[in-house]
Amino acid sequence: MAENVRRADPSSFVPGAMQQFGSPLSTHAVFLVLRVAAAAQALDRVRGVLADLSGTIKAVAFRDPSATLTCTVGIGSEIWPRLVGTPRPSQLRPFAPIVGEAHTAPATAGDLLFHIRADRADICFEFERQLMDALGDAVSTADETACFRYFDRRDVLGFVDGTANPVGDDIADTVLVGDEDPDNAGGTYIVTQKYLHPLSAWRALPTEVQEAIMGRSKADNIELDDATSGQKAHKTLATIVDDDGVEHDILRDNMPFGRPGAAEFGTYFIGCCRDLWVIQRMLERMFIGDPPGLHDRLLDFSSAVTGSVFFAPRPDVLDGLDDEPPTAPPASGPPAPVADSSLGIGGRS
């Protein structure tokens, strides 16, 4: 049964719905990361808002169904037992910093993620406004980033982003938890990072150098041959192949953001996966290098300033949060210590 639930969710896109993990890239998006206040009343208020959120999004989406409003809600490891009242999903852990010789992927606080997407900025705004009004002082904002689609799905560095995403039935196999964790089947793990780019330094590079760093041609997005040893391109380091030669994908929904007047230009990375070890290994290859010491040269022009892990449950889990006051179970154990250099996760059996 869990496997059927797992395969059902991304098979069709429904505007005005929650937890649409496989929905197409929108024109606008807001990434909103919140901390929940410690008081019991705050938890009760958050549960009520999340349980009612499917109605809120339908009401806002009704104003313009063609705007394709959706919202994905992710819940962090620390808040999960107290908020949801069930054991943590089996792989849910805090994000732990990855420290390379030249660059670091930092960990930052976050209890809740709201990934709001629509083809109209005002629709995103109105949904977020109603959401924050409902949550009130039960939460505080850790990060809020408004993003936009840039030309033909390019990042602000000028390259097409998300080329390697799975399509069709492969989305479910890549993204959704299945029978390995039946209580959480149909949900997905989410890793978010906010990167800032020194755009003037990047644009000063010759196109050929940019292409060598990315591993793709800039104009027509064609994969380039990469070195089999020594310094590797970004597209190679971000491709994960296990010991049996099987390639493991993730679903990216990255979007650019920027404020030219403040000289701020960036990419908001969001990756969804069934197995967290895939993103963990990808980040280790980028920040530490493969071989170690030869980090992803894209990081010389991309500074990670946030890093968080969430689990996005099925919509019915959110809808049922206010059915009865949950009690935090002791079974799931404490989160992995942030000081560790891994997320405390591994592949499924």
Which pair of tokens denotes residue 138? 């039960």
H or E stretch at 105: strand 104-105
Q: Give the span between the Cα atoms of 167 and 11, in whole angstroms.
A: 10
Residue 256 CA: distances (Å) to CA of 74, 146, 251, 334, 337: 20, 9, 16, 35, 31
At how many degrees (to 10) do helices 121-135 and 40-61 cross?
A: 150
Q: Give the span between the Cα atoms of 43 and 54, in whole angstroms.
A: 18
Q: Give the span between the Cα atoms of 27 and 77, in whole angstroms.
A: 30
Residue 312 CA: distances (Å) to CA of 19, 37, 42, 111, 191: 7, 20, 20, 12, 11
Which of 161, 181, 249, 275 is the catalytic position?
161
Q: Tell which residue, 254, 341, 237, has the closest CA to residue 297.
A: 237
Active-site residue, 161 included: yes
Could you check whether the bond before residue 291 is cis, i.e. omega within 30 degrees of 0? yes
- The DSSP annotation for 249-282 comes to --EE--EEEEEGGGTEEEEEEEEEES-HHHHHHH
SS3 state at 172: helix
Q: Give the span between the Cα atoms of 308 and 270, in whole angstroms.
A: 10
Residue 319 has phi, psi (to 5 degrees) of -60, -30
| Residues annotated catalytic, as ranges | 161
